[in-house]
Amino acid sequence: MGSTVEANWTAHHPRRMAQAEPMFVRGILSGPTAQANDSRYPVPIPTSSTPAADRSTIACGTCFCGAVQLELPLDSEPAISVVCHCTDCREWHSVGSVPYMMFPLLNLTEETGEMSIKVTAGASLLSYVHRTPEVRRYFATCCGTRLFNSVWNEAAGLKLCGTFPTVFSSFEWQPTMHVNVRESNYPTLDVRRFNDLPAEFGGTGTQAE
């Protein structure tokens, strides 16, 4: 029974099987990361021990349990604000599509760059996964919240950091487009929108404007 399931899985998911091993370079099992700032990677985790005093100039974000805290300057201009349907986003977040915004790295040189996002608490709780060396996906080991990504792809000329508007409570965000829709078989059609739930599932049944 077990071997049949395994054989079927391999037959239908050959790509995943091939990637399963290298994807988790440093995962939850190895514990909170002391090597978060790997000198071989040009985008260090952006820590700051001095939270900005003026709360009107920053958006504050936290992980689900609150142990990791982040700041994002409100004058940061996203390079792109999208709802992404790519396979990597869908699989990492376990959802049909992911709203995200990306920012150019700051103080960019040939060797390194800085993220706009700053981690003001809980930096030691961060870990990351990656499928390709170019993109690191950081999450909080305390509660599993996905928090931000860094991208350093010389070949494609992409040097960016990305984060999710859901992480930052006060960030006004509007997506300008859906991207990578061809990678998804998840429907993106307009469907009915309920303020809470349909009446048959215990909600009010009122539909959003």
**What is the token pair recorded at 111?**
């060797």
Measured CA angle at 150 (ends 146, 154), to 5 deg: 150
User: Which residues ranging from 86 to 125 are in contact with Zn ion (CB under 5 A)?
Assistant: 86, 89
Specify the stretch interacting with Zn ion by CB under 5 A; choose among 3-11, 47-55, 112-120, 135-143: 135-143
Three-state DSSP state, 188: coil
Number of residues counted as binding Zn ion (CB under 5 A): 9
Q: Do strands 69-73 and 158-163 pair parallel, antiparallel, or not at all (unpaired)?
A: unpaired
Among 18, 65, 79, 95, binds Zn ion (CB under 5 A): 65
User: Which residues ranging from 157 to 186 are in contact with Zn ion (CB under 5 A)?
Assistant: none
User: In terms of CB distance, is 63 or 105 closer to Zn ion?
Assistant: 63
User: In terms of CB distance, is 72 or 89 closer to Zn ion?
Assistant: 89
98 burial level (CB within 10 Å; 0-12, 13-18, 19+)? buried
Residue 67 in the binding site for Zn ion (CB under 5 A): yes
35 burial level (CB within 10 Å; 0-12, 13-18, 19+)? exposed
Residue 63 in the binding site for Zn ion (CB under 5 A): yes
Closest approach, Cβ 6 to Zn ion, in A, equals 29
Q: Using CB under 5 A as the criterion, which residues of the chain lie in contact with Zn ion when the complex forms?
A: 63, 65, 67, 84, 86, 89, 140, 142-143
